[in-house]
Amino acid sequence: MIEILATRCTACNTCVSACPDHVFDVGSPGELPLIARPDQCQTCFLCELYCPQDAIYVAVGDPDAIPRSALDSDPVGRIRHDYGWDGGTDDPLRYFWKLGPLLRQGVEISSARYALLLQAGKENGLREDGAPADAQAP
Amino acid sequence: MIFEHPDRKTADMDEISADVLIVGGGMAAGWAAVAAAKTGAAVVVADKGFMGTSGVTATAGPNHWWVPPDAGRREAAVRKRLETAFGLADPTWMARIIDITWRSIPELEPWYPFSGDGQGGVYRSGLRGPEYLRALRHYATSLGVRILDHHPVLELLARPDGSIGGAAGHDRLADRPWRARAGAVILATGGCAFRSGLLGSYSNTGDGYLMGVEAGAELSGMEFCIAYSISPAWLSTRTLPYTGARFFDAAGRQLDTPGWDRPREYLCSLAAAFRSGPVYADLHEAPRELPGVIREIQPATVAAFERRGLDMFRDRFEVKLFGEGTIRGTGGLRIADACCATSVPGLFAAGDAATREHIAGATSGGGAQNAAWALSSGVLSGQAASSAAARRSHSDRQSRLLSMGGAGLHPTGAVRPVDRKAVVQTAQAEILDPDKALWRSEAKLSMSAKWLEDAWEDVCGSLRGEGLDAVAARETAAMAATARWCNAAALARKESRGMHIREDYPGQDTDWSRRLITGGLETVYTQREEAPVSELAL
Ligand SMILES: Cc1cc2nc3c(=O)[nH]c(=O)nc-3n(C[C@H](O)[C@H](O)[C@H](O)COP(=O)(O)OP(=O)(O)OC[C@H]3O[C@@H](n4cnc5c(N)ncnc54)[C@H](O)[C@@H]3O)c2cc1C
Ligand code: SF4
Ligand code: SF4
């Protein structure tokens, strides 16, 4: 579900170009873009990132998307702000290097958890695949 | 200003001319454009979407294979990846790809906001998607590259001698057809995830495979199309937050899911769990630092939860496996030389559109090799396409051009309505269903072949899209064709190797230490590469 906020939109049509999936069409002169093909939306939020007026909102998870008003804080403009494209942050990519280390930490966590499980299984007489230790090979 | 009103576009838009025409707008296309333009070629990029947001690069944040130019370290890096490539990769290619990647990324300095690496240096190996493509777009434009956004290519154009001399497509914002003449063409159209919902992959429908095969090119490694990523059931996101996740069934029982250090067991165990009902993830045991920085690293991931009123680290949420097809799978257009040429003169392939077997073998290459491949194959194809264009004579460049497109444009029978949704669903069901893909067998693959053949006959015989609708018709045709090639290759490779696991042939067979070529339209063929991989080395 895509919403264009008429109070903010300047009809610059940037979103028409920026959407990779041709969701929008140019409206009548001076009018808002048309949300012509919402079924092609991949919910990538990149139109929001490119909209200079924070005038678009893409809700998540049709058909039971939650209305904006029901959320704790107003999500409009949040994407552009979080990416640092609104000029609000000096160094928007300062933590980007942590991606690799954090990913690996997660891998270690899930791997260690499973290793413990296998260990416990062995102590309870289970084989690696969870079958009893004396089970016949398939 | 990124929006150019269709009415104000120049009148010559319909007849475009270039030395090198690049089809696609992701990182492979971007690097190809830069490399070709640096040689002095006139370069045009035609993207289906907007070069900056389209393709899987834009929504990802790819980390590249990144090894400093130290002979020992580079050798070790190559050796390590060779060990997991199951005999189908080539150390010479690997070394070249590492080197090109290392030398290229710093060139983005003027356009990309590089930041620290946490150790006092600059972090260069990983780049965030939107900023990466914005930088590539600026870099290419600064070198005089002309970018045509929303200009999906529908078909290749060949000279009477069979060499490729251009492409034709539809300008979707102006809703009118266009044609381009070129000295050489690069297909950088990405992989194909069959519209699984995988992040950023909506436009990646295998168009380049179909256009390439129609022009006479071959595919390779299409059996290696088995990759999945876990995400919230309602939206595919990047997977960083879930590597440490615990999983639960509907009754709240914790599942004994193997860790991420055992990728196949992890995947098989989850696939089995989905058979008995919904699966939920719990991120309470995620790395402690993650909640504090995830918003800055991946804003879109946080939005996927926040906009549903969920706290990703507190609330348990339903998950799903999203098929990645040949995106993080490996297959693609076969490369016939050392510079990313296909077997068709004048036609080159780069990125996910090309096979990645040269460096990843029978594995995905995910998490570093893929991006390095997209970058370097882009650079190699850009340079080579420019030379190929320069070698074309003046009369070649003026020659008559023949349309190569078939399915979806020119049906072999009478035009009839085709249930396009059903066609795509068939492709998804036969190729992406984990029960079929993770445990392949002659029986299952033969059954799939039948369904895919029926779908293809329907498309090929009756489907026709006109005007703007031709784009969607071609996408349907390309997905049907791609599924057929993936399945045929899986059926032909009678062994298990890497990500391709056959229940009926569980062992790896040395006779099969060769790449597998696929292609054909009316009938699909498969053929083992004549030379084993070691002899294919440069
Ligand atoms: C979620 C995710 C995370 C990833 N993370 C990593 C990582 O950390 N490390 C790593 O090495 N790899 C990673 N990868 C893989 C890596 O991102 C890809 O290998 C790489 O981005 C591919 O680039 P590409 O240019 O070939 O394709 P894409 O970026 O997908 O570009 C394809 C382009 O082709 C265009 N196109 C398609 N059809 C047509 C047509 N008919 N006419 C004109 N244009 C067309 C599309 O619009 C698009 O611009 C990740 C992939 C995903 C999905
Ligand atoms: S980019 Fe924003 S301001 Fe411009 S037309 Fe779209 S919604 Fe309106
Ligand atoms: S979220 Fe992405 S696909 Fe959807 S309208 Fe915006 S840019 Fe287009």
Domains of chain A: 2-83 (3.30.70.20), 95-138 (no CATH)
DSSP helix/strand/coil, B362: coil
The parts of chain B modelled with pLDDT lower than 70 are: 1-14, 534-538
> Which helix or strand (DSSP H or E) is residue A65 part of?
none
- In this predicted structure, what is the pLDDT of residue A138? 32
Q: What is the ipTM of this complex?
A: 0.94
Which residues sit with their C-beta closer than 6 Å to ligand 1?
B 23-29, 46-49, 54-57, 60, 62-63, 152-153, 188-190, 198-200, 203-204, 207, 238, 327-328, 351-353, 366-371, 374
Query: Which residues, in sequence order, are CB contacts of B488 under 8 Å at separation 6+?
Result: B222, B449, B518, B524, B525, B526
Count of beta carbons in the 10 Å neighbourhood of residue B508: 15
A16 lines ligand 3 (CB under 6 A): no
- From B43, B36, B34, select the one nearest B16 (Cα to Cα): B43
| Gap from CA of A54 to ligand 2 centroid (Å) | 8
Domains of chain B in sequence order = 14-225+326-400 (3.50.50.60), 228-323 (3.90.700), 420-507 (1.20.58.100)
8 A C-beta contact, residue B239 and residue B364: no
CB atoms near residue B261 (< 10 Å): 14
Along the 138 residues of chain A, how does pLDDT read in single tens digits?
899 999 999 999 999 999 999 999 999 999 999 999 999 999 999 999 999 999 999 999 877 889 898 998 899 999 999 999 999 888 999 999 999 999 999 999 999 999 999 998 877 765 555 554 444 433
Q: How close B530 comes to chain A (CA, Å)?
A: 37
CA A33 to ligand 2: nearest atom: 5
Give B149's contacts in chain A (Cβ within 8 Å): 17
Closest ligand 1 atom to residue B239 Cα is 1
CB B234 within 8 A of CB A93: no
CB distance A55 to ligand 2 below 6 Å: yes
**Which helix (H) or strand (E) is B527 found in, with range?**
strand B525-528
Residue B331, CA atoms < 13 Å, CB-side half-sphere:
33
Q: Quick check: B130 and B52 in contact, CB under 8 A?
A: yes
Task: Give the pLDDT confidence score for residue A122 in this predicted structure.
Answer: 77
pLDDT at position A125: 63
According to DSSP, the residues that pair with B321 across neighbouring strands are: B230
Inspect the interface and report whether the beta carbons of B258 and A114 lie closer than 8 Å.
Answer: yes
Per residue in B428-450, pLDDT (tens digit) is: 999 999 999 999 999 999 999 99
Q: Which pLDDT tens digit goes with each residue over B200-246?
A: 999 999 999 999 999 999 999 999 999 999 999 999 999 999 999 99
Collapsed DSSP state (helix, strand, coil) of residue B181 = strand
Q: DSSP assignment of B369-432, as one string?
A: HHHHHHHHHHHHHHHHHHHHHHHS-HHHHHS--EE---TBTS-SS------HHHHHHHHHHHHH
pTM of this prediction exceeds 0.90: yes
Q: What is the pLDDT of residue A72?
A: 87
Tokens of B32: 């190809």
Q: Give pLDDT, residue A61.
A: 82
d(CA B34, CA B478): 28
Which ligand 1 atom is the nearest neighbour of the CA of B27? 25
Q: Are B185 and B164 in contact (CB under 8 A)?
A: yes
